[in-house]
């Protein structure tokens, strides 16, 4: 993914330049051809890496959840396709691959900036809130309502646009320079 110019730039601005290596973003190729077949079983799908505000969870009685590292890809895919929106709770994710897998399935995301830079999630892939862990319940519920009105095809298109190598390279370049 990173060419020699970007590797040199990353090493120049890193506190630990020996850890900078060429990387490849591994998205499951089958996701790009997934059909838009949605049969909603749940209003909300909680992808949990850090706790979600308990009052938000209780607000959505019709929900499902997966916990980081304790699910299969098939389960993630089924829950993303069967939920109206995904609330992605994450305070220590440096890229958010699961967020991209969920949005490329057309499921709009509710996410915050904790753990990954604001530019990591592309415009049109969901709705940003201040904090999913302890944030304002009204803000999160309002964001969920807004995300539920999003066109799933447009969410998919935004995710596809964001996954272009040129876009990802530019995002990393900006993140290194900030």
pLDDT tens per residue across span 101-125: 888 889 999 988 775 545 667 789 9
- Provide the pLDDT for residue 177: 75
Rounded CA separation 77/9 (Å): 36
- Burial (CB < 10 A; 0-12, 13-18, 19+), residue 7, is middle
pLDDT tens per residue across span 41-96: 999 998 877 778 888 888 999 999 888 667 777 888 899 999 999 998 876 555 56
At 140, phi and psi to the nearest 5? -70, -45
pLDDT at 28 > cutoff 80: no
Task: Return the higher-pLDDT residue of 166 and 36.
Answer: 166
Instruction: Answer whether 155's CB lies under 8 Å from 108's CB.
Output: yes
- Provide the pLDDT for residue 119: 60
Kindly state the percentage of the chain with pLDDT values over 90: 23
Rounded CA separation 81/102 (Å): 8
Give domain limits for the chain.
37-177
Phi-psi region of 141 (alpha: psi -120 to 50; beta: other; left: phi over 0): alpha
- Provide the pLDDT for residue 24: 42
Rounded CA separation 44/59 (Å): 10
Report the alpha-carbon angle 151-110-143, nearest 5: 75
- Strands (E) in 56-157, as ranges, are 63-67, 83-89, 109-111, 126-128
Rounded CA separation 88/115 (Å): 11
pLDDT tens per residue across span 10-23: 677 666 666 655 54
- pTM, two decimals, is 0.73
Mean pLDDT of the chain, nearest integer = 78
Task: Compute the radius of gyration of the chain from its Cα atoms.
Answer: 17
Q: How confident is the model at residue 130 (pLDDT cuts 50, 70, 90)?
A: confident
Average pLDDT of span 3-11:
67
Q: Helix, strand, or coil here: 65?
A: strand
Q: Residue 62 to residues 25, 54, 104: CA-CA distances in angstroms?
A: 33, 14, 23
pLDDT at 32 > cutoff 80: no
At 38, phi and psi to the nearest 5? -115, 125
* 37-177 fold: Rossmann fold (3.40.50)
pLDDT at 157 > cutoff 60: yes
């Amino acid at each position: 993914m990173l060419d020699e110019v970007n590797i040199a730039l990353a090493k120049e601005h890193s506190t630990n330049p020996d850890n900078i290596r060429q990387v490849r973003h591994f998205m499951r190729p089958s996701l790009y051809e997934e059909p838009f077949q949605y049969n909603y079983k749940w209003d909300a799908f909680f992808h949990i890496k850090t706790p979600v505000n308990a009052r938000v969870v209780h607000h959505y009685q019709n929900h499902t959840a997966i916990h980081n590292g304790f699910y299969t890809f098939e389960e993630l895919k089924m829950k993303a396709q069967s939920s109206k929106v995904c609330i992605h709770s994450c305070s220590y994710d440096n890229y958010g691959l699961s967020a991209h897998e969920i949005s490329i399935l057309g499921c709009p995301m509710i996410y915050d900036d904790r753990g990954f830079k604001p530019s990591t999630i592309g415009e049109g892939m969901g709705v940003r809130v201040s904090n999913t862990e302890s944030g304002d319940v009204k803000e999160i519920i309002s964001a969920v309502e807004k995300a539920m009105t999003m066109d799933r095809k447009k969410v998919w298109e935004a995710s596809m646009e964001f996954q272009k190598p040129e876009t990802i390279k530019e995002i990393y370049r900006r993140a290194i320079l900030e």
